[in-house]
Structure 1
Amino acid sequence: MENIKGLDSPAKLEEALHELQVHQIELEFQNEELQHIQEALNATKNRYQELFKNAPVGYCSLNEKGQILEANLTTLALLDQTEESLVNTAITNYIFSEDQDTYYFCRQKVIAQLDSTQTCDLRLLKKDQSIFWAKLTLATSFNNASQTVFRLVIQDISEQKKSEEQLKLAASFFSAAGEGIMITDAQNNILKVNPSFTTITGYQAEEVIGQNPKILSSSENCQSFYEQLWNRLEKEGSWKGEIINRRKNGELIEVIMHITTIVNHVNEVQRYIALYSDNSLVKQRELQLKNLAHFDPLTGLPNRTLLADRINQAMILTQRTFNPMVLAFLDLDGFKEINDNYGHDQGDLLLVTLSKTMQKVLREGDTLARIGGDEFVILMPNLKHINDAVPLIKRLLETVALPIQIKKVKINVTASIGLTQFPQEITVDADQLMRQADQAMYQAKIAGKNRFEFFNLQLNDNLKAHYEYLDQISNGLNMGEFELYYQPKVEMRTGNLIGAEALIRWQHPDKGLLSPLTFLPQIEEHPLSITLGEWVIHQALKQLETWKTKNIAIAISVNISAHHLMQSNFAERLAEILAEHPSVNPADLQIEILETSQIEDLKHTTNMINLCNKLGVSFALDDFGTGYSSLTYLKKLPIHQIKIDQSFVKEMLYNINDLSILEAIISLAEAFQHEVLAEGVETIEQGNILLQLGCELAQGYAISKPLPASDFPNWLSNWQPPQEWINSELQTHDEVSLLFAKVEYQAWASSITAFLKGDYPYVPKLNQDECRFGKLINSIEHKQHQLQYPQNQAQWVDIKALHQKSHILAAELVSLNEQNNTLLLAQKLVAFKKLSKELLAKIAQL
């Protein structure tokens, strides 16, 4: 009442009202400020919620039991879950079983050290149970009810883990790589090298780190070579080529080097990486095989390979000088009868003698080549006139017709020669010239032998017959007269069937079953060869379909001519044919191509094979080591397999040259990392020696003859490899030397017998230390190799004694032969053969 009373005057009442209005205004300002604060708080909370929900890493909260209370969108995406399926489930449900302990220990550390943050790497599971790597960051906090809450951050580190694995793999490759690796900085100072670098160069890592790679250089590479190398590096960022370096011990070494430039984001050079491959072994094998492949081992004359090169060079010379050239094909008349009557050794001696006498007739720039058997080719380039060749050819005929005395036998032989010329009115290549000369030679034989004939295009009856034969082949193909036979290809040691070669046969209505040699040469470079080649591919794919239904899963190889392969649409047509047989895996088809000079365009051929490889089809180089063999094909063509020609396999047990070629081819295939398969394996012993030399794959009559498709399943069910092949082991270097010595001893023993019969003109070596086997025995004694054969010491003593006796007995035989003591000679010869047989049996027991 007193307060009210104090307001009884109007002035005081007005003052009180004013104060109330002021307070009201202040309260309104305060309410407005509180409202702004609340709005700001709500906005901050919304932003936090927005950040939480949409953060690029996973966030979630767990209660003390490890159950998920909330999770953001990234967590849901990482685990491929919805919020409803995730909330209130245990986090351990999403941790890979093998990583549960990792999470448990991480959680225990957080509990033990409050206010700490712990991390661990482990694998999480998505909804479909797929796994990804994650980094978990775990910390604790408290909620409004003062309860412990775990805050979990999840980061996907799968790419990081993948990078780490790649780094580990790179480090492993660096250390274990067979190639030498050298890393330098931008100033070309060596930073790091791998163990293979040390093996190749002889330098330890500590000797070269910090040095310039110039310490490896040799005077063999000129300054311009290095300038071109660096120019290529600067322009293209890499360089690859052959370079001659110097080892630590001063020895020169040829290496294949591949240098790559490593740059940063602004294209500044950071590192150089160089890869080294020791090319010495490959070069050595190349040289060895090149020498074997270019000259005939019997006569020493150029073979078909070298001849082809010289023909091409002569054709180029003719086009430049306009001086014609003549190509002559010479075939001995009746040489088969000489072999039949006097033996192959006598026939070989005749060929050697004739080669020497024919060479004396020719001019200095002419080439006399032996291309097989009793067939020779004479190349006469740079003639002033075609007729200038006639006197030379007449002298050749006269020289060949002269009687030849070989030991006690006088042999008479003649020759038929076919001639062709270059240039001609029509365009011809080297192969066509060879065929023309061959046809002209047959005309000479038909005309009576011991004569020569020029090829006459207009009057050549053979051409007419040739085209008639082409019509027969075409009609036969349309009438279904052709079929494929299949020869198995096996892994000799295990007996596993690895494939079959499809071999075409012609069921001729009049002549019966014909082999491909009777008709395929007739269609070379003719469009019919392409038609027939595609038919073979189709039939092989159909057979694969049929065998697949019978659970016979193998690959089939088909032979394709070089002319067919050189077609610009070959890969395209192959793809179309494969598409017509969708159930066949293209990897089950292999294409075999012959080494031939027809593969002229290596770039085109390589590109075509690469296109076919992309389809899944692999390639094999057939009849390797014969004909137009070229190491260039081996180096540049992307082939999978080398097939050794059967001619080397056939004579390898008796011919040291064939055995040497075999070993060289197998080693070369290994150097180029190609499969190698031997053709024409006809005996168990041939297969055994191939296995000992390192050739595991083979085909031939020792395994199976070519079979009709209907007979193949029955053969497969009964096939077992010989026990000798199963037990065969790869030979060491010393054991290979023993094998070579054994073959040469057999040849020596045969030459002794041939000499005594008058079939061999020279006295074979009688000194036991001069033969390969004698040298091997001396080497064994010198190097004490008996430590390698402790179980065979007694046999070696016996073998040495038998070897000495055989040479002593051989010398006695030669002496008795000079004395014409035929009775004692015959007795001693029987003893010599028995001794040789005993010695070879002892060798076989080692």
Structure 2
Amino acid sequence: MRHSPATMDSLLTKPAGPAIQQTVLLVGPQSDAPPGLLPLLHSLGAQSQHADSGERALEILVAEDIALVLADVALPGMDGYALTQWIRENSRTRHIPVILLSNGVWDAAAIARAYEAGAIDYLGRPVAEPVLSSKVAVLLELDGNRRRLRQAISHIDSTKAYYESMLNAAGEGVIGLDRDGHMRFANPAARLMLKVENDQLVGADYRMFYPFPAGDVPHWEHTPFFHTLRHGKETRIEETIFMRHDRTHFPVSLCVSRLAGNGDGLVIVFQDISQRKALEEALRRQAVTDPLTGLNNRSGFKSAFRIALDRARRARKSVALMFIDLDHFKRINDTLGHAAGDFLLAAVATSIRECVRSYDIVSRIGGDEFSVVLDELDDASSAAQIAGKILTALRCPFRLEDGMQVTISASIGIASFPECSDDVDMLMQAAGVAMYQAKSDGRNLYHFYMPEMNAKARHRLMLEQALRVAVEDDGFFLHYQPQVDIGTGRVVGYEALLRWDHDRIGSIAPSTFVPMLEETGLIIPMGQWVFSTGCRQRHAWNSMLPEQCSLSVNLSPRQFADKNLVPQIQRVLEANQLPPYQLEIELTESMLMSNTEHTRNLLRSLKDLGLKLSVDDFGTGYSSLAYLKQFALDALKIDKQFIDHLTTSSKDKAIARSIIQLGHNLGMQVIAEGVETADQVETLQQLGCDVVQGFYFGRPVPAGEVGRIPQAVAVGAQ
């Protein structure tokens, strides 16, 4: 039971015992004490103790009452970690907070070690005085509160026998019953909660406020009050029901005690817990509800899903679980902002809710991921109709708050009970696998789970894990393919191509692992490695290759968005003493289409470094050519798909001719990729192409084999 606020305040503001004294223990060289600490302690009314070693600190900790420890990690003998662990394991000192100080860098391992030892915080030198002041002041304030509370509790314990009745009665309702269950008295708080006047209450039966469950015969002997009277032991009930004079019920917690001394009766101290119950319910709802959409969150979804499965088992019905993932939602967030994204998510939630039955369970289980549990189905195939309805609804334009209309689509995976599994987690996994299959098959569609999908998903997971290991363990390598001037036959450049051979899977195609690098974000460190390794290799070839022979490196969309790209490239060039004109950056059309301030600034910065810029796979991505006149580009690379049928398809030949003429008219060099036959070379010569690259002139080879490639060939003779 809670105590009267006034009584508790008096106990806390007038504690027994001496005034609070706080001591901060500094462990380490005295000369290394953080500047400004001692004046701070003085201003806070605290004092300091110093120990130059961990062993000396232990002696002080055992002998004195310490409020806070500031300890160096590097100590003679027992280091700061060991000292902290001892403090935490000792029952006398385990409450003392410890801040560890270090002159070194707090890396992840050091931080983990500090927390495992039991440190409450860590700081690196030099310590910023505002940071130190804030942390020390807060910890001393908490220690002071703890000490004051301990004094107050001690004071309460020493006077408990005398003041117990007053403390119990002060803030709660108090009712006195005689041994037969008749009310002798009730304090004002009790009368207010029971909505009864004093003259109506005195002498009345206990049944005025204590209702029995429906159907039970009320007997005094069956109440907790009689139980206390008979056994003489205090009874506490955390939650039961009392009844007001108007017959309405409300929840209470209560304590029943026999009257002290020679009193022959009981005292009931109770508290209305309606507000507490309402708060608990609100917290429970908050714990299972997504605040943005009002739907179940992931926790609420799993709980509701389990209940639905149990109900379906009993009724021998089917249940279908849908996982719904919005396609390319990140683009909306990145382009229109998170406020627009949140507004759209709420609208999508409403749209999905309108597509299902009132008792189906709709949840938002992630950022742009929703789930639907279709309950009590006669046949799981009925889920297909609902899935199609949801896809159609989501394709309708959504109007945002600013009036803009946005069209989206979704990918849906469906798993059914009992066909797929009867386990919640397995069904969730199956629905997720089916959803990713829908994405892989083109998005804006739904898939039912099939066992072979799981094998495919497991293979992808295994491949992704192997990919992470390969990135960490330098499991990738570069091959280099020559680029030949079609007029002179001279090698004018090499393209660096990323390769990966897995010890069990074998050689893995870039078309497989490069998208995975993009999706996982590993393309950033991998891209940096390609730049560094390629530039170092080009510098090593200085004595072997002509000065103007360049190295071209592909840039990924994630690298293009990285704000640190330009300084990283500059550092790589400087570290390898590589002239900028010997490095060519290959971009995709999609990067150049986003004519943003970042794009303009990045391309300008790359050109200012002196790098060459080319457009890779030209003609395959976007129809707009406006970017060609906006940015200072050096070359266009004709995609291999236009070269494959160059000699047999008049359309491909016309496209290649148009790209070559367009590039030349804009002052750009044109490079043809994927050249494999002499007829293709001859046709490209006739069309005026500048540079060719492909198996006809050389396959990609390791760096060690580049020296064997002739640096000039007779193009017309091949």
Structure-2-length-normalised TM-score: 0.39
Whose radius of gyration is greater, 1 or 2?
1
TM-score (ref. length: structure 1): 0.34
